[in-house]
Amino acid sequence: MQFLANVPALFELLAAIEGKIHVGLAAVAAGVGVGLVGAKAAEAVGRNPGAQGGILTIGIIFAALAEGLIFIVIFLG
């Protein structure tokens, strides 16, 4: 019976968690995106060291786009 007394508090906790789960998922997706950009940029520089400047520029742009996802979710969510 003690558990039934805590049910309203449990529902409030679940509502708070459910309201913010999209932020966590966006953060995971942004982390994966930045990791993939970094890995592929390092691979590209390894294959063609002469193109390092262009690859670095493109890598930074796409990493910023991947990180921008989390800011969109935070501000619009």
In the CATH hierarchy, which fold is given to the domain comprising 2-76? F1FO ATP Synthase (1.20.20)
6 pLDDT higher than 80: no
User: What pLDDT sits at residue 2?
Assistant: 65
Whole-number Å distance between alpha carbons of 77 and 18: 12
Convert the pLDDT of each residue in 50-70 to its tens digit.
Answer: 999 999 999 899 888 888 888
66 Cβ neighbours under 8 A, 6+ residues apart: 29, 30, 33, 34, 37
Report the range of poorest mean pLDDT among 14-18, 39-43, 47-51, 53-57.
14-18
Domain boundaries, the chain: 2-76
Whole-number Å distance between alpha carbons of 74 and 68: 10
Could you please report the per-residue DSSP string of 12-52?
Answer: HHHHHHHHHHHHHHHHHHHHHHHHHHHHHHHHHHHH-GGGH
Of 66, 47, 74, 44, the residue nearest 56 (C-alpha):
44
